[in-house]
Amino acid sequence: MEQRRRKVTYEDAGVHINQAHRSLRAIRDRVVATFDDRVLSEFKHFGCLYNIAGMGVQEPVLVASADGVGTKLKIAFMTGRHDTVGTDIVNHCVNDIIVQGATPLFFLDYLAMGVLQPEVFEAIMSGLTAGCSENGIALIGGETAEMPDFYPEGEYDLAGFIVGMADRNKIIDGSGVRSGDVLLGLASSGLHTNGFSLVRKVLFEIEKHSLEDQPKEIDRPLGEELLVPHRSYLQAVNTLHRSTTVKALIHVTGGGFIDNIPRVLPEGYSARINVGSWRVPGIFRLIVALAGLDLKESFKTLNMGIGLIAIVSRDDALKAVPLLGEKGYESYLIGSVEREEGGVIFEGV
């Protein structure tokens, strides 16, 4: 007689669907609180519906972007703190589309874990909903995947997807940049979400620091310093639009100054950066010193204390600095555009 096989369920394979449903119900109210009147779908629907009619845009263009938190997640794993990485990815994605003149509309997330841990899931979602609320956008949908044997225990991956709208006639592409324009740099909140593979190697693998250590260059323990969320520049950019003619905007992310500034410069133009025009925060000075980075490598790997750059006329830059300060954004005249080849040229060193 053929022996009857033992039943094997999805839960036996490591996927806990009921637990996932309970976790989603637990965060439902936070997510729905980010909805505006234009969200037409409900929390339970398969797809997400958003009404873009009547927004007062003459020739609407959708602007979309996707990104991940990267190896900064390793710091969250090390500290056991997961309530900041959601804000990281929301703000990063917001910055990526506002530099082209878009108004953010809605956001979606993708969270994949080896085993769904409710307390970790809820902490991540608290950061996501906080980031969406701060930026006035709807967390319209997403995906939570439990993938046993795929991720090491206690680890996960987090990515974000954003959609915004711009008026085609007002898209910012750098085409109006001219010689004599000024680079106005807005202070970052820290490392943001770039350079963490180098940071972790230098601080924890080579120098053997602990998360509780507080090197003299910084004013809080490393675990806190490294988890400061990526800053949103939405309100700063709105202030610039109201008070200046913005010719180009640069989100200083992977590739730093070296790779990102040339993306908006017309052919035949360069950017001259005065590296003494702002005080580089201690965490950057620490990493540069420990890693032995030269100037070019420093400004290619890290944001060096400047998270967003606006290219405007000199008069507009001088007018914008105090207005940005009123909104809580420190800003500096960090360089100028010149009619010459050379990409990014550093001066004052």
DSSP 103-121: EEEEEEEEEEESS--HHHH
Per-residue pLDDT of the chain (349 residues; tens, 9 = 90+): 456 667 756 565 566 555 555 656 666 778 888 888 888 877 666 678 888 888 888 899 999 999 999 999 999 999 999 999 999 999 999 999 999 999 999 999 999 999 889 999 999 999 999 999 999 999 999 999 998 889 988 999 999 999 999 999 999 999 999 999 999 999 999 999 999 999 999 999 999 999 999 999 999 999 999 999 999 999 999 999 999 999 999 999 999 999 999 999 999 999 999 999 999 999 999 999 999 999 999 999 999 999 999 999 999 999 999 999 999 999 999 999 999 988 999 997 6
Q: Which residues contact 247 (CB under 8 A, 6 or more apart)?
A: 172, 174, 176, 177, 178, 181, 311, 312, 313
Distance CA 239, CA 242 (A): 5
One-letter amino acid for residue 192 of the chain: H
Looking at residue 318, what is its pLDDT? 97
Name the residue ranges covered by the structural domains of the chain: 17-170, 182-347
List helix spans (H) across 191-294.
Answer: 196-200, 222-226, 234-243, 256-260, 282-291
Q: Establish whether domains 17-170 and 182-347 are of one fold.
A: no
287 class by beta-carbon count within 10 Å (0-12 exposed, 13-18 middle, 19+ buried): buried
Angle, alpha carbons 52-131-39 (nearest 5°): 25
Looking at residue 38, what is its pLDDT? 84
Angle, alpha carbons 22-27-31 (nearest 5°): 140
CA atoms within 13 A on the CB side of 307: 24
Distance CA 42, CA 211 (A): 41
Looking at residue 8, what is its pLDDT? 58
Give the CATH fold of the 17-170 domain. Answer: 60s Ribosomal Protein L30; Chain: A; (3.30.1330)
| Helix, strand, coil percentages in the chain from 3-state DSSP, rounded to 5 | 35, 20, 40
Looking at residue 223, what is its pLDDT? 97
- CATH number of 182-347: 3.90.650.10, 3.40.920.10, 2.40.50.660, 2.60.40.1180? 3.90.650.10
Instruction: Say which residue the tokens 């022996």 belong to.
Output: 3
Look up residue 208 and give its DSSP letter.
-
Angle, alpha carbons 328-223-281 (nearest 5°): 45
Torsional sign, CA 8, 14, 20, 23:
positive
Looking at residue 17, what is its pLDDT? 58
